Amino acid sequence: MTTQITTKTFAGKLSAYAKSTITQRDNLQDLIKFGLDHYKIDGDATYLTRVIQQCIELKAVPAVTVKDYIKAHANVVYGELKDKTIGFKKVSKKAPIETKYCKVTWYEWSGGKHNTVKKDFDAVARAKALITSIANAEKCKDKNKAVAIVAALEAVLAA
């Protein structure tokens, strides 16, 4: 159960959240490094698999970014394992075990296609796309309503 947030407790709660998040993402980096070190020793990707499975289960970090980060730092693939679970395994049995030094943390890494945040949302472009889709809808049950919505959106855009 969470405590009730008030105007007096908001700043403290927000600060505690930020500190906790920083600690957790650094803890995850340590777990990834441990998994990579263990993989480098004997090719066992069990710890890497456990890390990504926990990321997916908790939904607290971008699991796709973590998965891509791990794949960029070890010659592993992500897929079905012998026990029918999903996880990491070496690219092939004959391939040598390879890992790369982690120069940046998973959360500062820019190599993942999912590790980017759109800075701006183009509301005008989205509104225009909405107008077009409404105007072009051939199966609109209430054409008069669609026309009214289009007119209202066009008026907002014109302002």
DSSP 78: E
Look at residues 139, 131, 119 and name the one whose alpha carbon lies nearest to residue 157. Answer: 131
pLDDT of residue 56: 93
- 107-134 pLDDT, tens digit per residue, is 899 876 665 544 455 666 767 776 666 6
pLDDT of residue 38: 95
N-terminal to C-terminal alpha carbon distance within the chain: 46
- 13-69 pLDDT, tens digit per residue, is 999 999 999 999 999 999 999 999 999 999 999 999 999 999 999 988 899 999 999
Q: Are 14 and 4 in contact (CB under 8 A)?
A: no
Q: How far apart are CA 71 and CA 58, in angstroms?
A: 20
pLDDT of residue 111: 79
pLDDT of residue 119: 47
Comparison of pLDDT for 118 and 83, the residue scoring more: 83
Domain boundaries, the chain: 10-90, 123-158
Q: How far apart are CA 39 and CA 44, in angstroms?
A: 5
Q: Is 135 exposed, middle or buried (0-12, 13-18, 19+ CB in 10 A)?
A: middle
Global pTM exceeds 0.95: no
pLDDT of residue 110: 85
Entry field: residues in the chain: 159
Q: Are 81 and 89 in contact (CB under 8 A)?
A: yes
Name the region of 146 (left: φ>0; alpha: ψ -120 to 50; beta: rest).
alpha
- Look up residue 18 and give its two tokens: 């930020």
